[in-house]
Amino acid sequence: MFHKEGYKIIFFTLVLVIVLSLVADYFVPNSIIRGGIIISLIILLVLILQFFRNPKRHFQKEENQILSPVDGKVVVIEEVFEKEYFNEKRLQISVFMSPLNVHVTRYPVGGEVVYSKYHPGKFLVAWHPKSSEENERTTVVVKSKNFGAILHRQIAGALAKRIVNYAKEGEQVEQTDDSGFIKFGSRVDVFLPIGTPVNVTLNEKVKGGITVLAHNE
């Protein structure tokens, strides 16, 4: 199963692979070189399919838990001053995604979308300390029943050239529903109230909509 954001890219990549394979088969006499070209094209197609996969998962929605919005590795757990929306200290948990991870962004909590904004910016590597403030990004805040306002921010990386954001202010959303999609490598920051009990550790691998980042005592 593939995400809808990848349909066009998958189609054009498939066409490109077929056309170039036929061209190589017709115009390249050396069988080794011809085989290398065709294998390389197939590998390209497999990587594209891998990136846009959207596997079916059995989600367990819990109002007293904050779920990871994406697949990846936890790279930041620290208190920071969040100045775009809260203007106060929050607990930041950041998940870095490699190009091989599933790149669907899911709502970590359910509730009302009270803030949704796109910011153009740079394309620093996603783990750069300033990427959260200087890179292209989208910020979404959902007001939940048990945690209050929870902010998650999609951040473009060096390879990510397009962020898709589905969140619209005023709409009611369900935990684990699609919030957006980032194409080709990125990270997502989640900002929680100070003192929220955390369930993950640095460098831990997490799954979007499955792994519990934090809970409400």
Which residues does the annotation mark as catalytic?
Answer: 186
Counting every residue written for the chain, the total comes to 217
Q: Are 17 and 40 in contact (CB under 8 A)?
A: no
Q: How far is CA 96 from CA 10, 29, 36, 59, 171, in A?
A: 24, 44, 33, 21, 27
Run of H or E residues at 19 = helix 7-27
Q: What is the DSSP letter of 2?
A: B
CA-CA-CA-CA torsion sign (147, 202, 154, 82):
positive
CA-based nearest residue to 184, from 13, 5, 17, 43:
5
- Tracing tokens 């929220």 back to the chain, one arrives at 196
| Beta-bridge mates of residue 178 | 106
Which residues share a beta bridge with 67?
212
